[in-house]
Structure 1
Amino acid sequence: MSADALIRALGLPDATRVGRRVPKKLLAEHGAATAADKRQVQDGVDEVQWLASLKPHLIAVPSFKDEQREYLEVAVLSMKLKPSTKPGRLAELLHRAVPYPVLLLTSYDLGVSLSLAHIRESQNEADKTVLDGSVLSVLLPDEGHGADFYAAVALAKQPQADLFALYQGWLDTVSALDVAQETGRFLPSLTREQSAARHAALQDCRQLKAQIAQLRSQAEKETQIARQVAFNQKIHAAQSQLRALQRTLSEESA
């Protein structure tokens, strides 16, 4: 899967295209909070490109402003990482560095991931933005297996009330792709509330899977029969909870 395929699927107007290289030092200066972060930028990032700027007069979607944030545009960027570099922290640093909500395409060893995160005005520093919540990042499927997602992610399919609604629409669409990795089927949520509920259930599923893996590891190391039985009972209970959550996600995706 290439970043170009996602850009085609977005269906952005030609007037929004930027195609400008972003120096790594800007990411290090504006996004990196520590010396370790700056080293990671220098050692792990190959290049960053500003692909498009989605401004109100270019896409006919109004800007947004409330007590917490002002969205004057949505930025589309790509980041290419060097071999063996993990994307998680570097993607977060880029979202922190750019004072606009960003659609970030990160190319690395496993493929291309798409990440998003709301931002808001900092309460402590004037003219500075901070992340508002966690970064949502999902590995993109190839075009053959992700046709429903690539149709749903188009600019024209998102809410058009304002730039906040537009960006939230993309967040919900990518969240539905995240759910599809658990259910095996992509289907957009019908409401914001449903999207939030499905996202929460998905996180619970992942926590339970991690818990089950930890319990199994502990059970394998245990030498006392009684404690092995206790671990197996905990595993069985966690598996039952996991199956119930998976059924819930599948029903909401049906």
Structure 2
Amino acid sequence: MALIEDIYEVPKSCLVDYVVPKKAIFEAADSNTSEKRVFTDLIKRIKWCYKFTEDNLRITPYLDDVRNYIEVEVITIELKYDNVHKIGAGKFKEDSEIDDIARTVMRFIPYPIILTTQYENELKFYGAHIRESKADSDKIVIDDKILSTNWMDFDNLSEIEEDFISKIQLDNLDKTDFYDFYNDYITAIIQHEGAETAGGSVNLPPEEIDRIYSEISLRDAKIKEIENKIKEADNFNEQLELNMKAKKFKDEKKNLINELKGE
């Protein structure tokens, strides 16, 4: 079974190995009955694997007006195998609920997190910059959005996935301070998203990759919406018009992918 401990080369001094009570998280998040049921049904356990601090990695904390990065956590959400249903390569019926769980955990922990969800030998990585809430300095908010990779099967990693795993090893992350350290992890996720979409390495700044990837995601959502309408369309003219709209967004998506490739 692939675990973060098996693939992440971390000094023993960083080990925490503590199971975080699910109840503590969904109560702190003020989850409703439905959200609590998702936690109970899908999560086997939430494991706090490692804590990276100034003491154990000799990395300087980072503090400014909105951020307080004094440490970075590594946490894994292990899923209940019998309650999660695979519907294709790297796809699960419960993907939406799993992403929601990841968001809840990231909002609960007041530190930047290298977060993974695990199903058997597959892992999905999440990350997001955080900042203090202007309304309540004791709380944190996600800065911009939560980023994630695809599901990675560690019995069958692609070259793109192997490149990502290499980039997030401790030896390859910036040790200037904990902001730069964590930002390297975030950058690795963005570069991975771009590479997966382009079908190969992408030589663009992370901000540009993120912008293009977001534009592609918008086109994908539009295409899916139109294709659903096509299924419900009653006459040929309506179907033709919808198909033309779908083609427009598909052409735009193709151009954006070419932009990622540098073409």
Bucket of the pairwise TM-score, normalised by the shorter protein: 0.7 to 0.9
Identity %: 23
Query: Conserved in 2, the CA contact under 8 Å of 1:30 and 1:96?
Result: no
Query: Conserved in 2, the CA contact under 8 Å of 1:219 and 1:232?
Result: yes
Q: What one-letter code is carried by the residue in structure 1 that aligns with 2:2? A: S
- The Cα of 1:77 is off from its aligned counterpart by 0.8
Query: Conserved in 1, the CA contact under 8 Å of 2:190 and 2:206?
Result: yes
Q: What one-letter code is carried by the residue in structure 2 that aligns with 1:21? A: V
Query: Conserved in 1, the CA contact under 8 Å of 2:2 and 2:121?
Result: no
**Distance change (3 Å), C-alpha of 1:240 and 1:48:** same
**Distance change (3 Å), C-alpha of 1:135 and 1:109:** farther
Q: Which whole-Å CA distance do the structure 2 matches of 1:51 and 1:219 have between them? A: 47
- The Cα of 1:62 is off from its aligned counterpart by 0.6
Q: Which whole-Å CA distance do the structure 2 matches of 1:107 and 1:164 have between them? A: 26
Q: What one-letter code is carried by the residue in structure 2 that aligns with 1:87? A: I
- Residue 139 of structure 2 aligns with which residue? 128
- Residue 91 of structure 1 aligns with which residue? 102
Q: Which whole-Å CA distance do the structure 2 matches of 1:228 and 1:105 have between them? A: 42
* Residue pairs, 1:102-251, within 5 angstroms: 102-108=113-119, 111-143=122-154, 144-145=157-158, 146-187=161-202, 194-251=205-262
- Residue 43 of structure 1 aligns with which residue? 41
Question: Normalising by the residue count of structure 2, what TM-score does the alignment of the two structures yield?
Answer: 0.83
- Residue 53 of structure 1 aligns with which residue? 51
SS at match of 2:153: coil
Query: Conserved in 1, the CA contact under 8 Å of 2:122 and 2:153?
Result: no
Residue range with higher mean Cα deviation, 234-243 or 134-143: 134-143
- Residue 90 of structure 2 aligns with which residue? none
Q: What one-letter code is carried by the residue in structure 2 that aligns with 1:54? A: F
**Distance change (3 Å), C-alpha of 1:197 and 1:21:** same
Number of corresponding residues: 246
Deviations 1:141-181 (A, max 9, x none): 33541222221221121222210111111011012222222
**Distance change (3 Å), C-alpha of 1:110 and 1:206:** farther
Q: Which whole-Å CA distance do the structure 2 matches of 1:239 and 1:140 have between them? A: 24
**Distance change (3 Å), C-alpha of 1:226 and 1:49:** closer
The unaligned stretches of length 5 or more in structure 2 are: 85-93
- The Cα of 1:9 is off from its aligned counterpart by 4.2
Query: Conserved in 2, the CA contact under 8 Å of 1:54 and 1:73?
Result: yes
- The Cα of 1:139 is off from its aligned counterpart by 2.7
Query: Conserved in 2, the CA contact under 8 Å of 1:9 and 1:151?
Result: no
Deviations 1:194-236 (A, max 9, x none): 2121112112212212322332343454344443333233223
SS at match of 1:87: helix
The unaligned stretches of length 5 or more in structure 1 are: none
Query: Conserved in 2, the CA contact under 8 Å of 1:27 and 1:41?
Result: no
Deviations 1:18-48 (A, max 9, x none): 1111112221222344343333323332111
- Residue 3 of structure 1 aligns with which residue? 3
- The Cα of 1:130 is off from its aligned counterpart by 2.3
Q: Which whole-Å CA distance do the structure 2 matches of 1:227 and 1:64 have between them? A: 56
Q: Which whole-Å CA distance do the structure 2 matches of 1:251 and 1:158 have between them? A: 26
**Distance change (3 Å), C-alpha of 1:246 and 1:126:** closer
Q: What one-letter code is carried by the residue in structure 1 that aligns with 2:18? A: R
- Residue 26 of structure 2 aligns with which residue? 28
- The Cα of 1:245 is off from its aligned counterpart by 0.3
- The Cα of 1:81 is off from its aligned counterpart by 2.0
Q: Which whole-Å CA distance do the structure 2 matches of 1:214 and 1:74 have between them? A: 39
